[in-house]
Amino acid sequence: MRIFLQTTRLLGAIVISFGLLAVLAGTALAAPLHAKVTDSNPKAGSTIAQPPTTITVTAAENMKPGAENSNLFVYGPSGDLINQGDATVGLNDPNHMSVKIKPEKNGVYVVRWTTVSADDNDPDQGAFTFTVDSTASAVSANANGTQATSPSTAGNTGTPLWTSVVVGLVALLAGFGGGYGLARRSGKPGIADTTSKDGFSTQK
């Protein structure tokens, strides 16, 4: 009888434990992404043949408009801020934000973004880079006639020293490696400390 009671209690404890684990796992999976940037044009970490005139990012949630809330800061290979005004959150698609830039020469461009979620007012921030190399065969047409980018195999593109320094600092502060250097939701912008599988850095 004692063995039966002990076995019953053990099974009950196991069932309760699995139930708690399921609840905790469900809570973690349901955690909101807030206004984390999930995509961009040009793609983060990509090499393109022609410098863009507009930078666009897509967030996981709708963004709160206004430069004091959500904005983009783009730096060209010269190290200068090349924004032509503040970024604009889409009126009909508020999870998209874009800014016009004054294109520069070949080299690495740095894009820093800040967002505030329109749903819960949580702030986010992060950064990523892309490279312009007109000498590389980085752009190819697919069957539909649209353009697709691929990493360049060309050598030195004349990137100035400042870019390496800025990229290194962005990597250190935003925590990105390779692809997107985009920060996860945080109550207060801080130093990122992990990088997820999709290349997005996270911060606490």
| pLDDT at residue number 98 | 98
Comparing C-alpha atoms, which of 11, 106, 90 is closest to residue 50?
106
CATH code, domain with 64: 2.60.40.1220
State how far the Cα of 190 lies from the Cα of 69, in Å rounded to an integer.
Answer: 16
> Same domain, yes or no, for 134 and 186?
yes
> Same domain, yes or no, for 18 and 95?
no
Mean pLDDT (10-residue bins), the chain, 204 residues:
47 39 40 81 96 97 97 97 97 97 96 96 96 73 38 44 54 43 38 35 40
> Same domain, yes or no, for 75 and 175?
yes
What is the number of structural domains in the chain? Answer: 2
| pLDDT at residue number 34 | 77
CB 180 within 8 A of CB 44: yes
State how far the Cα of 122 lies from the Cα of 188, in Å rounded to an integer.
Answer: 8
> Same domain, yes or no, for 135 and 151?
yes
Supply the pTM of this predicted model: 0.60
State how far the Cα of 74 lies from the Cα of 185, in Å rounded to an integer.
Answer: 21
> Same domain, yes or no, for 1 and 62?
no
> Same domain, yes or no, for 160 and 199?
yes
User: In which domain, by residue range, is 2 found?
Assistant: 1-31
| pLDDT at residue number 32 | 55
| pLDDT at residue number 161 | 54
| pLDDT at residue number 33 | 64
